[in-house]
């Protein structure tokens, strides 16, 4: 029998025996139950168990079956010794077994029959003063917390704090986006309207709390941790099925090999096992399929980025791909095109004769055209408010629409002019200096008219600048002109000493 | 002792309150009458045809009615959901439901003057303006005789359900017949449907019709939520009071208070949810026929009370009752139970009073005369004393705990986990 | 397990539960009915695929939606599915807080159902926008245009409510499943299963210290999920109720929608669990009394819905508003009277049969009633959306809404998606919360406490 086979067989027998005789930790090859249970499909069962034990600690131990047996002869020994311990474990405290060369004792694993046994044993272990130990059960055992002396987790406080963060964050998000960064009136509601903001604030609070609960719980539990020394024990498979365990770590200060084993036995353990830390580094390695999966996924994850990068670098003469053609080419009448629907084949329709559309009756000559009783108006229209704020508005509009040509100071040296001078070009006329006497003398209405309809090479701005803004520009221009031709009386007395 | 479960009330437990109930009755009954008379005198002196008095009186009545309705809800609900934990406190709620006849008589204090030609607190629809077509359209529903009949029917139904459940439960104390529990259970389903319909329509009639133009489908649920808050707070307080007097000391444990606290918390949340739903939908849609109700409550001095409700009826109890820290320490739970009882009063006051149109139109709680506030207080104390007196009279006659309920054993050893 | 074994070894009872759940799962082949169901579901899923592709190529014009009834079937389906998705969280969270132990046998499946239903629900508003590839516009992402979602809109609330609900349901479901995945891991026979379940189980080892935090987290999640489940359908109801459309704007909508959602959700749980119980031999775990309890909740919520219908009708009259009055008259007597009639019959009248024990115990009757309730609840949403929109304030715009074949195909397809996912869940994941069921056994509390 090769060591390989031997190992497999032992495992198989061990677990078969266990499945058949729950209350006995004695592993006896000739046990009638074991034989009977195993008799049915012996070979198949063996293979399965071998496989199971090999891949026990999930990724950690995939393929361990062959490896541990082949690479380290200790593997075989270990199994044998453990069996001995188990045999002894039930009744008397085992003598310190032969040393496990190169293997470090992780701790003891004791199995119990019922939740009640587990709780009373946990009380004994707690009273003995252990700190690095734990109970294991297929479901949360009622009363285990006081029995182990587990203190209330801080999780609720974490959740509370993060939940408050979600609450504040939700409110802040809505205030900043809808009231501060991009205010926008909808259905007459205030920009920041608490009643309408409550649903989303509620949801962000709950979402933050839920995420805090979920991830906080796993983090406090130090999970995921797919590898654990106890997972090597077949016995421990039943912790998710029907059995109850106490594990005490050897690292505990009060841990004394024999004494502690005795303590567990006296506490009603069915069996006590020693658990060693596997010295084989291969056992802790990630199994190959997982590694392969992660590598392939990581490579594939780069593909979209690569495609984006390629798209940014490439130039193509082809037009866009029209994914939704009927959105890109809508069967609608566009302006300035022909359309057979109308008798004159014009898609753009003019107003019905003799009508004026709402809001388009521009009857007030002064405000809309700058004319008062047939003359250029010399004053601002009544509906225009001459104030600091309209001057500011005028400055703002001026800087957008006028400054490119006339320059910030209005002297005609704007960016476009300067650029035009650099390009050898015929026929470029410098924009007017707005401070020249004939312009300064013009009435407000005439300047308004020049802005609206343009003058010489300057185009009209009526379509871009609404009337009130045009008046604001006129007002600002007046202020600008005044600034360049200010008499000394305009300067306040106390500031006059500053001008030399 | 329930033989089946082998565990009953502790033999030394004091489970009757014969003397205590009797003495409370003797003290509270005259006090209640006196306070009501004083309130009536103040009301009569103010010379507005008792209109202000009727509002005060309606606040007090609607408040204690909500406690009794909450109790009825609790009594009917327990068999319906087969609750085990609540057996030790169920009788206390049953005792509170025995006040329906009293409340019915007190309701006559509004109905009879109305039948005699007064408009009670409902002057808007009893004498609608001639050009108010909306109200004339509602006349088929909102007229005094039909109103009186409806209110009488509600009380008749409540008295019937309450008495039936009470008598059966008391009968079980004697016979120990487990079948009675089954019969309670069978009756609880239909009863709760009738209860839901009656409480909704009673809320529409007694409170919503104060402003007869206004309508809100959720209003019945809103009043119910308040009633549930009232009963869970009251049950904790009654239990603690009795334990202080040496009764039931072994039967009601911190576990039961914890559950009552949890339910109180749940209904504080539920009330907030319902109140917010009602407000939000009306605020957002902004329809004049609906916003009319919130207008005085938000844009006059009443807005202070509205904010008080938001802060003290919702946020503060929510935050504190969330924690076990509050629910499992009796003094704290008592504090928040009283707190919620007070806030529930503010809630009812806030529903009723803004609808009172005083001669000078701008009156709010902040500008009420001291006499008016005193009248509110005396009416409240008056109705309250009568309510307590009649509850105490019932308590004196029966066991304070259903001693032979088959689920009593489970309830006694009940533990939260 | 013999009774004697119970006496000798308290563990037998726990093992019995593990076996009952795992054996069906570990069979190399699922039952034939599973294959039949899977083929049908995949066929329906194919229908969904075809209709979505056609939709994306052609546009929303393939549906019966028109200018007035712009919401049409997609939003009916959305509200229907999101309603279905309420029972899971109700069972997991609210019944947990109320200490209803019978929930343990069905909560896992109900949670799974919730997630799949929310998935189906989320599909509809997205495709209804007409440009689903721009769905990310609904999230507050910084962008070149410096534009932000309009947070005062109830449709935005939907985005947040549904996505929060979906996330919470998935996390709650997965967290509850971890100990059971560990059971699957420890029983797994082949490598792929070991590996997959091993990773999913996160190395769970049933440690008491971990159980302590786990249980606390479970309680917190339940406490958070309870108001959340109220909020989700309330927010969906806000879509309607904050508007001024007669028949939509009524203050009872939030609790009424929640009750209706729970109602339809429980009906769907019954529809799925009664067959699943037989197919996977779970009679020992999902007991008759559990089915009965679900019937009672269906009855209770159905009656609440009926209560809301009644109150709505009364207040519509009482309001004195002719628009309100017309909206409700139109529901009952207008062109869609048949839908209203179906809705009241299926939602209010028929569930009253559950007052009788015979009806609560006969699986056939329960199945039929549960399916009818689902039909009725679909029609409730249809009635609310279509009757109000097709008869708005502007009589010139009145029209009769007729769905197209593609409307029907999309709805059927969404059922395909739902059933396919559910069947996969039944086959590959723990369909019953094994550890929770064990915790409710008397043996778990025997001994010391």
User: Comparing C-alpha atoms, which of C108, C111, C133 is closest to residue C56?
Assistant: C133
Q: Does A374 touch chain B (CB under 8 A)?
A: no
Could you give the CA distance from residue C393 to residue C397 in angstroms, rounded to a whole number?
Answer: 9
Q: What is the pLDDT of residue B114?
A: 92
Is a pLDDT exceeding 70 seen at residue A22? no
Is a pLDDT exceeding 50 seen at residue B55? yes
Closest-CA residue of B relative to A142 is B417
Q: Does C46 touch chain A (CB under 8 A)?
A: no
Q: Does C31 touch chain B (CB under 8 A)?
A: no
The answer as to whether B106 is a domain residue is yes
The residue ranking higher by pLDDT, A220 or C130, is A220
- Average pLDDT of the residues in B218-247: 94
C311 contact residues in B (CB cutoff 8 A): 200, 217, 220
pLDDT tens readout for residues B273-286: 999 999 999 999 98
Where helices occur in A185-269 by DSSP H, the ranges are 194-220, 257-266
pLDDT tens readout for residues B58-73: 999 999 999 999 999 9
The SS3 call for residue A377 is coil
Q: What is the pLDDT of residue C23?
A: 83
Is a pLDDT exceeding 90 seen at residue B191? yes
Q: What is the pLDDT of residue B156?
A: 96
Is a pLDDT exceeding 70 seen at residue A118? yes
CB-neighbour burial class of residue A99 (10 A; exposed 0-12, middle 13-18, buried 19+):
exposed
The answer as to whether B13 is a domain residue is no
Q: What is the pLDDT of residue B360?
A: 55
The residue ranking higher by pLDDT, A166 or C446, is A166
Query: CB–CB of C231 and A206 under 8 A?
Result: yes
Could you give the CA distance from residue B325 to residue B333 in angstroms, rounded to a whole number?
Answer: 9
Boundaries of domain holding B403: 18-412
Give chain C's domain count. Answer: 1
Q: What is the pLDDT of residue B392?
A: 93
Q: Does C359 touch chain A (CB under 8 A)?
A: no
- Range with lowest mean pLDDT among A367-371, B10-14, B328-332: B10-14
- Average pLDDT of the residues in A20-35: 41
Is a pLDDT exceeding 70 seen at residue A72? no
- Average pLDDT of the residues in A445-461: 91
- Average pLDDT of the residues in A427-451: 90
Measure CA of the first residue to CA of the last residue in chain C; give whole Å.
Answer: 25
Q: What is the pLDDT of residue C387?
A: 92
How far is the CA of B186 from the CAs of B72, B76, B130, B235, in angstroms?
16, 10, 50, 25
Is a pLDDT exceeding 50 seen at residue A181? yes
Could you give the CA distance from residue C190 to residue A51 in angstroms, rounded to a whole number?
Answer: 8
pLDDT tens readout for residues A348-403: 888 888 898 888 888 888 899 889 888 999 899 988 989 999 999 999 999 999 99
Query: CB–CB of C151 and A287 under 8 A?
Result: no
Is a pLDDT exceeding 50 seen at residue A79? no
pLDDT more than 70, % of chain B: 95
Measure CA of the first residue to CA of the last residue in chain B; give whole Å.
Answer: 27
Q: Does C238 touch chain A (CB under 8 A)?
A: yes
The encoded tokens of residue C305 equal 């819905």
Q: Tokens 């004083």 label which residue?
A: B38
Closest-CA residue of B relative to A141 is B417
The answer as to whether C399 is a domain residue is yes
Residue B363: pLDDT band (50, 70, 90) is low
Q: What is the DSSP letter of A436?
A: S
pLDDT tens readout for residues A296-338: 999 999 998 998 888 778 888 887 777 767 777 887 888 888 8
Q: Where are the beta strands (DSSP E) in A239-376?
A: 244-249, 271-277, 371-372, 375-376
Q: Does A142 touch chain B (CB under 8 A)?
A: yes
Q: Does C313 touch chain B (CB under 8 A)?
A: no
- Average pLDDT of the residues in A468-482: 92
Is a pLDDT exceeding 60 seen at residue B5? no
- Residue B266: CB partners within 8 Å, gap ≥ 6? none
User: Comparing C-alpha atoms, which of A80, A83, A96, A26 is closest to residue A261?
Assistant: A96
The answer as to whether C417 is a domain residue is yes
Q: What is the pLDDT of residue A490?
A: 78
Q: What stretches in chain C show pLDDT beneath 70? A: 1-8, 446-449
B252 near B89, Cβ under 8 Å?
yes
Boundaries of domain holding C401: 3-444
The residue ranking higher by pLDDT, A33 or C208, is C208
Is a pLDDT exceeding 80 seen at residue B82? yes
ipTM over 0.90: yes
Closest-CA residue of A relative to C179 is A240
The answer as to whether C250 is a domain residue is yes
Q: What is the pLDDT of residue A163?
A: 95
Closest-CA residue of C relative to B200 is C311
Q: Mark which residues 185-204 of C lie under 8 Å from A by CB.
A: 185-191, 194-195, 198-199, 201-204
- Average pLDDT of the residues in B388-392: 94
Second CATH level (architecture) for the domain A365-487: Orthogonal Bundle (1.10)
Query: CB–CB of B417 and A142 under 8 A?
Result: yes
User: Comparing C-alpha atoms, which of C200, C245, C233 is closest to residue C71?
Assistant: C245
Is a pLDDT exceeding 50 seen at residue A44? no
pLDDT tens readout for residues B99-156: 999 999 999 999 999 999 888 899 889 888 888 888 988 999 999 999 999 999 999 9
Q: What is the pLDDT of residue B95?
A: 94
The answer as to whether B61 is a domain residue is yes
* Chain B neighbors (3+ CB pairs < 8 Å): A, C
Could you give the CA distance from residue C364 to residue C357 in angstroms, rounded to a whole number?
Answer: 13
Around A468, how many Cα atoms within 13 Å sit in the side-chain half-sphere? 10
Is a pLDDT exceeding 60 seen at residue A345? yes
Query: CB–CB of B280 and A195 under 8 A?
Result: yes
The SS3 call for residue A414 is coil
Q: How many CB pairs under 8 A join A and B?
A: 13
Is a pLDDT exceeding 90 seen at residue A41? no
Give chain B's domain count. Answer: 1
Residue C221: how many other CB atoms lie within 10 Å: 26
Query: CB–CB of B217 and C312 under 8 A?
Result: yes
Around B357, how many Cα atoms within 13 Å sit in the side-chain half-sphere? 6
- Average pLDDT of the residues in B238-264: 90
Residue B373: pLDDT band (50, 70, 90) is confident
- Residue B39: CB partners within 8 Å, gap ≥ 6? B53, B56, B57, B375, B378, B379, B382
Residue A315, min C-alpha distance to chain C (Å): 23
Closest-CA residue of B relative to A186 is B284
The answer as to whether B9 is a domain residue is no
Could you give the CA distance from residue B261 to residue B257 in angstroms, rounded to a whole number?
Answer: 6
Residue B97: pLDDT band (50, 70, 90) is very high
Q: What is the pLDDT of residue A349?
A: 85
Q: What is the DSSP letter of A373?
A: T
Q: Tokens 């929510």 label which residue?
A: B318
Query: CB–CB of A114 and C207 under 8 A?
Result: no
How far is the CA of A145 from the CAs of A149, A221, B417, C11, C209, in angstroms?
6, 15, 12, 21, 8
A388 near A475, Cβ under 8 Å?
no
Closest-CA residue of A relative to C236 is A199
Q: What is the pLDDT of residue A483?
A: 86
C125 near C158, Cβ under 8 Å?
yes
Q: Where are the domains of chain A?
A: 3-152+224-284, 365-487
């Amino acid at each position: 029998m090769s060591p390989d086979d031997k190992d497999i067989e032992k495992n198989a027998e061990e677990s078969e025996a266990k499945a058949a005789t729950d209350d006995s930790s004695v592993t006896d090859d000739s046990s009638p139950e074991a034989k009977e249970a195993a008799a049915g499909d012996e070979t198949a069962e063996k293979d399965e168990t071998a496989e199971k034990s090999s891949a026990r600690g999930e990724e950690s131990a995939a393929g361990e079956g062959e490896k541990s047996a082949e690479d380290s002869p200790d593997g075989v020994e270990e199994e044998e010794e453990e069996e001995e311990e188990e045999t002894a474990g039930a009744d008397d405290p085992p003598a310190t077994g032969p040393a496990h060369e190169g293997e470090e004792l992780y701790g003891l694993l004791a199995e119990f029959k019922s939740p009640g046994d587990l709780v009373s044993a946990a009380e004994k272990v707690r009273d003995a003063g252990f700190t690095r130990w734990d109970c294991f059960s297929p479901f949360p055992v009622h009363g285990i917390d006081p029995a182990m002396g587990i203190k209330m987790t801080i999780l609720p406080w974490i959740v509370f704090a993060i939940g408050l963060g979600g609450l504040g964050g939700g409110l802040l998000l809505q205030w900043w986006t809808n009231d501060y960064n991009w205010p926008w009136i909808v259905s007459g509601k205030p920009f920041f309207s608490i009643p309408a903001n409550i649903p989303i604030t509620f949801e962000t609070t709950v979402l933050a709390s839920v995420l805090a609960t979920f991830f906080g719980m796993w983090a406090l539990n130090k999970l995921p941790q797919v590898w654990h020394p106890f997972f090597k024990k077949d016995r421990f498979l039943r912790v998710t099925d029907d059995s109850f365990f106490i594990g005490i770590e050897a690292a505990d200060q009060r841990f004394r090999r024999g004494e502690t084993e005795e303590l567990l036995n006296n506490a009603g353990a069915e069996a006590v096992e020693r658990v060693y830390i596997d010295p084989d580094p291969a056992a802790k390695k990630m199994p190959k399929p997982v590694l392969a999966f992660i590598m392939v996924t990581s490579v594939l994850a780069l593909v979209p980025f690569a495609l984006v990068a390629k798209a940014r670098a490439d130039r193509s003469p082809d037009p866009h791909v029209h994914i939704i053609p009927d959105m890109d080419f809508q069967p609608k009448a566009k302006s300035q095109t022909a359309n057979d629907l109308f008798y004159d084949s014009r898609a753009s329709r003019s107003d019905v004769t003799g009508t004026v559309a709402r809001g388009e009756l521009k009857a007030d000559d002064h405000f809309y055209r700058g004319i008062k009783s047939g003359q250029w108006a010399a004053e601002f229209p009544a509906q225009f408010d001459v104030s600091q704020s309209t001057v500011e508005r005028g400055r703002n509009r001026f800087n957008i629409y006028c400054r490119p040509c006339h320059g910030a100071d209005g002297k005609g040296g704007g960016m476009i002019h300067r650029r035009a001078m650099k390009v050898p070009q015929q026929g470029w006329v410098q924009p007017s200096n707005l401070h020249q006497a004939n312009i300064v003398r013009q009435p407000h209405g005439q300047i308004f008219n020049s802005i609206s309809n343009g003058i010489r090479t300057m185009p009209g701005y009526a379509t871009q600048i609404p009337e009130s803004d045009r008046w604001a520009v006129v007002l600002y221009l007046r202020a600008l002109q005044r600034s360049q031709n200010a008499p000394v009386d305009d300067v306040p007395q106390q500031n006059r000493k500053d001008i030399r | 002792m329930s033989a089946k479960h082998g565990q009953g009330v502790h033999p030394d437990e004091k489970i009757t309150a014969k003397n205590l109930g009797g003495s409370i009755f003797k003290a509270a009954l005259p006090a209640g009458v006196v306070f009501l008379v004083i309130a009536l005198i103040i009301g009569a002196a103010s010379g507005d045809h008792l209109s202000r008095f009727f509002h005060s009186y309606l606040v007090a009545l609607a408040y204690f009615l909500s406690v009794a309705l909450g109790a009825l809800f609790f009594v009917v609900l327990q068999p319906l959901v087969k609750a085990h934990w609540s057996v030790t406190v169920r009788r206390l709620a049953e005792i509170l439901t025995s006040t329906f006849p009293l409340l019915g008589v007190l309701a006559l204090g509004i109905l009879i003057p109305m039948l005699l030609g007064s408009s009670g607190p409902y002057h808007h629809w009893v004498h609608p303006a001639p050009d108010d077509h909306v109200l004339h359209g509602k006349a088929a529903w909102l007229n005094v005789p039909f109103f009186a009949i409806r209110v009488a029917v509600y009380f008749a139904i409540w008295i019937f359900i309450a008495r039936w459940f009470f008598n059966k439960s008391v009968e079980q104390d004697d016979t120990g017949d487990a079948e009675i529990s089954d019969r309670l259970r069978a009756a609880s389903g239909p009863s709760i449907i009738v209860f839901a319909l009656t409480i909704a329509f009673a809320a529409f009639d007694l409170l919503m019709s104060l402003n007869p133009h206004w309508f809100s489908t959720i209003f019945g649920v809103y009043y119910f939520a308040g009633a549930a808050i009232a009963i869970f707070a009251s049950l904790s307080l009654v239990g603690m009071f009795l334990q202080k007097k040496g009764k039931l000391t072994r039967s009601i444990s911190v576990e039961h208070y914890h559950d009552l606290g949890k339910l109180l918390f749940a209904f504080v949340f539920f009330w907030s949810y319902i109140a917010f739903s009602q407000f939000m939908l009306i605020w957002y849609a902004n329809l004049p026929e609906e916003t009319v109700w919130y207008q005085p409550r938000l844009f006059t001095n009443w807005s202070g009370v509205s904010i008080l409700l938001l802060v003290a009826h919702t946020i503060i109890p929510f935050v504190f009752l969330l924690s076990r820290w509050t629910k499992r320490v009796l003094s704290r739970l008592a504090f928040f139970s009283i707190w919620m009882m007070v806030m529930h009063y503010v809630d009812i006051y806030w529903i009723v009073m803004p609808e009172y149109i005083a001669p000078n139109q701008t009156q709010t709680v902040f500008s009420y005369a001291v006499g008016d506030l005193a009248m509110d207080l005396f009416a409240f104390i008056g109705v309250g004393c009568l309510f307590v007196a009649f509850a105490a009279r019932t308590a004196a006659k029966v066991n304070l705990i259903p001693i032979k309920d088959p689920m009593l054993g489970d309830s006694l050893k009940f533990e939260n986990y | 397990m013999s009774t004697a074994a119970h006496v000798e070894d308290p563990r037998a009872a726990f093992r019995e539960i593990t076996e009952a759940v795992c054996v069906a799962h570990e069979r190399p082949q699922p039952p034939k009915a599973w294959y039949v169901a899977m083929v049908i579901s995949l066929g329906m899923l194919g229908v969904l695929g075809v209709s979505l592709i056609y939709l994306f190529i052609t546009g929303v014009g393939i549906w019966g939606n028109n200018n007035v009834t712009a919401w049409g079937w997609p939003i009916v389906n959305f509200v229907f599915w999101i309603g279905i998705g309420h029972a899971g969280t109700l069972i997991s969270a609210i019944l947990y807080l109320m200490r209803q132990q019978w929930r343990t046998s069905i909560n896992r499946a109900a949670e799974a159902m919730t997630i799949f239903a929310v998935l189906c629900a989320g599909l509809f508003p997205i495709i209804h926008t007409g440009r689903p590839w721009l769905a990310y516009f609904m999230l507050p992402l910084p962008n070149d245009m410096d534009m932000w979602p309009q947070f005062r809109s109830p449709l935005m609330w939907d985005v947040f409510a549904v996505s929060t609900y979906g996330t919470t349901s998935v996390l709650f479901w997965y967290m509850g499943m971890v100990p059971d995945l560990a059971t699957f891991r420890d029983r797994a026979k082949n490598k792929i299963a070991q590996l997959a379940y091993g990773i999913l189980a996160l190395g769970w080892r049933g440690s008491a210290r971990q159980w302590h935090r786990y249980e606390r987290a479970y309680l917190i999640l339940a406490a958070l999920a309870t108001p959340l489940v109220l909020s989700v359908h309330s927010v969906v109801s806000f879509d309607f109720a904050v508007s001024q459309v007669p028949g939509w704007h009524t203050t009872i909508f939030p609790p009424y929608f929640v009750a209706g959602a729970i109602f339809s959700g429980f009906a769907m749980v019954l529809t799925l669990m009664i067959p699943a119980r037989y197919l996977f031999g779970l009679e020992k775990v999902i007991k008759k009394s559990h089915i009965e309890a679900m019937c009672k909740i269906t009855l209770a919520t159905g009656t609440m819905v009926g209560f809301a219908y009644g109150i709505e009708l009364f207040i519509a009259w009482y309001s004195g508003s002719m628009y309100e009055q017309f909206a409700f008259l139109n529901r009952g007597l207008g062109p869609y009277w048949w839908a209203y009639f179906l809705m009241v019959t299926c939602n209010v009248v028929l569930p009253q049969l559950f007052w009788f024990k015979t009806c609560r115990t006969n699986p056939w009757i329960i199945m039929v009633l549960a399916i009818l309730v689902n039909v009725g609840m679909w029609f409730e949403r249809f009635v609310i959306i279509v009757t109000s929109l097709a008869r708005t304030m502007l009589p010139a715009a009145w029209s009769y809404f007729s769905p197209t074949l593609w409307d029907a195909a999309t709805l059927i397809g969404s059922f395909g998606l739902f059933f396919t996912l559910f069947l996969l869940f039944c086959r590959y994941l723990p369909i019953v919360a094994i550890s929770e069921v064990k915790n409710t056994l008397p043996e778990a509390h025997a001994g010391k406490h």
